[in-house]
Structure 1
Amino acid sequence: MLAAAIALMLAPAALPPAREEMRLPAEEARQGVAADARFVYAISNAQIGKYDRRSGKRVTGWTGDPAQFIHMNSCTIVARALVCAASNYPDVPMASSIEWFDLASLRHIKSRSLGPGRGSLTWLEWHDGSWWACFANYDDKGADAGRDHRATTLVRFDRNFVEQGAWLFPKTVLALFAPYSSSGGAWGKDGLLYVTGHDRPELYALQLPKAGSRLEHVATIPIPTPGQAIQWDRSDPTLLWSLDRGRKALVASRVSVGK
């Protein structure tokens, strides 16, 4: 398989650019995106818009209290819920929460506070029977004392959010994140973890190490949007959704890996 072959290489592979296939305008396209077979969901700090992927029409939306929903970063689809990573960015100490929304109505269902800890929760994924969470750290604004982008951490939790393990990011990728952190992440069908930074139009394929506590950088893939959150299409495992927040657009791109 391609993923296994790439993983044997000593240096990260430079793979062909992702090919843009669809672009939908969305007012809420500021922080994150998720998609299923019928709809695309645009996420902003305290807003979610639900769009018909064929017509591009906005079918419903949700707006929260900005005093409570300070900075929603990204969302993922799990069963019939939109599960979102949120933080208090740029406030310090950094604190995070997870917010659940009904996928059909976008009604807010429940919340779980993670409080202060490893950093600012930017993305969350359900994969291989576990929750995988990225806690971002920054060099300046919104940073806890004594940390910078190098402290960005991937944490594995069980279904009850009991920690099962934690990893630092590859140094090659951290250098590209600086002075920010990872804004998006999603597990591919090939077992690799795909992440983005804050502003570079690149997708980084990572894998868990056989030993040690640092993820391994497998490949870099150019994408047509500048960083921010990502999600694989729930109906098409090689179609990656990202966002162009400068143009307030949701973008679907075909990626040569993730099969």
Structure 2
Amino acid sequence: MTPLVRAALAAALFAAAGSALAQPVASERPPVYAPPPVVELQAKMIREYAAPEARQGVAVDADHVYAIVNTVIGKYDKATGARVGRWAAPREGLIRHINSCFAEAGKLWCANSNFPLVPMASSVEVFDTATMTHAASHSLGILDEGSLTFFERFGQGWIAGYAHYNEDGGLPYKDAAYAGVVFYDAQWRRTGGYALPASVLARMAPHAASGGVLGPDGLLYVFGHDRPELYVLARPVMGPTLIHVATIAIDAAGQAIAWDRTAPGRVMYAINRPTGVIRAFELPPVSLDHSPDARPLKPE
């Protein structure tokens, strides 16, 4: 055998061996990922307040509940249900669409957007709860993330939810599936984020998460536009998509929700938009025992 033939034979054998190694053995193929089962739970209603402003969302502090609708916020005594204050601005003005608020240290921190206008633009608006007057504003401007629907403190920074829409207020090249959750530092510089799971997007379509709050358990509770159910989301151990761990049936319809962090137990406030009422609920605990890849959301 000549050296030339010997070299050609060696090259052919090497190529064949490499091709064989490149072919995965069927038994070595990893299985297709199966998401954890979604636990079905039920919220218990414990209180109801009549509030004509309860068409968009609610906020709560130790002594009062706040009903929100676009450019109006009503302040109600938590014990009696009587309205004791109100803020209002002209429709289609500087503030167009307050999506949600949370109460903290005598202030209401609110997510505002220019919905249904495009391009989408958003701002953070702050109100004094004692006087029910506007106190501060921070514009986020036009964002690719979409329309700001909720936010709250997260460690030294912020966690915020953004919506895209299939219909009015949406973009032809970005539907509701582009909704997501974004993390920021204290100066509103983006530090991370997550996509919403397909199971939740499908339940909220053609809208997105209209309300969202972090629970005392570190899980994210999001509410859609009108379906009477909360979706409980956890952080994945890896990857860019939150994990849907539970759905809680709740006798409410839209949109922004609020934990009562001044009350014992697991008390959440929501609204029933069609009837203009605020409702308080006791929520069941949510376990992650059935979701080995799920973790609470905690600041790094």
Q: TM-score range by the shorter chain?
A: over 0.9
Q: Deviations over 1:9-36 (max 9, x none)?
A: 8211112x10101000011111110111
Deviation at 1:80, TM superposition (A): 2.3
- Which of 280, 283, 287 pairs up with 1:255? 283
Which residue in the other structure is 2:125 paired with?
99
Hey, what's the Cα distance between the residues in 2 that align with 1:78 and 1:126?
10
Structure-2 residue corresponding to 1:32: 57
In the other structure, the counterpart of 1:191 is 218
1:21 alignment counterpart: 46
Q: CA deviation at 1:258?
A: 6.6
Matched residues in 1 for 2:278 and 2:154: separation?
24
Report how many aligned residue pairs link the two structures. Answer: 250
Partner of 1:179: 206
* Percentage of matched positions with identical amino acids: 44
**Structure 2 residue aligned with 1:56:** 81
1:221 maps to 248
- Code of the residue aligned with 1:34 in structure 2: it is A
Q: Which has the higher contact order (CA 8 A, sep 6+)?
A: 1
**In 2, distance between residues paired with 1:179 and 1:60?**
35
- Structure 1's 186 and 258: CA in aligned 2 closer, same or farther, altered over 3 A? farther
Q: Which has the higher helix share?
A: 2
How far did residue 79 of structure 1 move?
2.5
User: How far is the alpha carbon of 1:130 from its aligned partner?
Assistant: 2.4
Question: Which string of whole-angstrom CA distances, capped at 9 and with x for unpartnered residues, describes residues 142-176 of structure 1?
Answer: 00231001000101111111111011101100000
Q: Which has the higher strand share?
A: 1
Give the aligned partner of residue 5 of structure 1: none
Partner residue of 1:122? 149
| Matched ranges for 1:201-216 at <5 A | 201-216=228-243
Confirm or deny: 8 A CA contact 1:50 1:61 kept in the other structure.
yes
CA distance in 2, matches of 1:220, 1:202: 6
TM-score by length of 1: 0.93
Q: Which moved more, 1:124-133 or 1:181-190?
A: 124-133
Question: What's the TM-score, normalizing by structure 2?
Answer: 0.81
1:81 corresponds to: 107
Q: Distance in 1 between matches of 2:167 and 2:273?
A: 22
Would the aligned equivalents of 2:204 and 2:224 in 1 still touch at CA under 8 Å? yes
Find the aligned partners of 1:227 and 1:46 in 2 and give their Cα distance: 17
Structure-2 change in CA distance of 1:258 and 1:113 (3 Å):
farther
Contact 1:238 1:258 in 2 (8 A): no
Structure 1 contact 198–226 (Cα < 8 Å) conserved: yes
* 1:65 Cα deviation after fit: 3.0
Q: In structure 1, how many angstroms separate the alpha carbons of the residues matched to 2:106 and 2:187?
A: 18
Structure number with greater Rg is 2
Give distance in 2, aligned partners of 1:227 and 1:128: 27
Give the counterpart of 2:71 among 42, 46, 51.
46
**Alpha-carbon distance in structure 2 between the residues aligned to 1:149 and 1:242:** 22
2-structure distance, mates of 1:65, 1:158: 32
Q: Distance in 2 between matches of 1:162 and 1:127?
A: 13
Please give the alpha-carbon distance, in whole angstroms, between the structure 1 residues aligned to 2:223 and 2:234.
14
1:48-87 deviation digits (Å, cap 9, x = unpaired): 1110011111111111232111111110112221000011
Equivalent in the alignment of 1:6: none
**Aligned AA (1:40):** V
Unaligned runs of 5+ in 1: 1-8
